């Protein structure tokens, strides 16, 4: 389960620190019960909408409850997050 409060915390941390390998490692340390994946936003398939969009990154929810990872918009079934970095080229488009 991913709560709104947790999403708020993650968004605040990343907005202040930026999305990087170091900030993802810090999130993993701070929230060990959740899985975090870092990628570029253009690696996410078309038609998949982020649960949160912020300056420089999008947050997506992942559900691994049935042994296969899949994107979800349901925070109650979410077990992790994808932190997707928006590249400068994507921002300008």
Looking at the 3D structure of the chain, how many domains does it have? 1
pLDDT digits (tens, 9 = 90+) for 66-87: 888 899 999 999 999 999 999 8
pLDDT at 69: 87
pLDDT at 23: 96
pLDDT at 64: 87
What is the pLDDT confidence band of residue 6, given thresholds at 50, 70 and 90? very high
Task: Compute the distance between CA of residue 65 and CA of residue 27 in angstroms, rounded to an integer.
Answer: 21
Q: Which domain holds residue 15?
A: 4-92
pLDDT digits (tens, 9 = 90+) for 29-41: 999 999 999 999 9
């Amino acid at each position: 389960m991913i709560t709104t409060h947790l999403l708020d915390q993650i968004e605040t941390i990343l907005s202040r620190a930026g999305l990087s390998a170091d900030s993802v490692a810090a999130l993993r340390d701070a929230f060990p019960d959740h899985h975090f994946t870092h990628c570029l936003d253009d690696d996410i398939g078309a038609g998949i909408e982020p649960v949160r969009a912020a300056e420089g990154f999008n947050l997506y929810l992942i559900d691994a409850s049935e042994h296969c990872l899949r994107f979800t918009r349901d925070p109650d079934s979410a077990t992790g997050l994808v932190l997707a970095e928006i590249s400068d080229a994507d921002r300008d488009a």
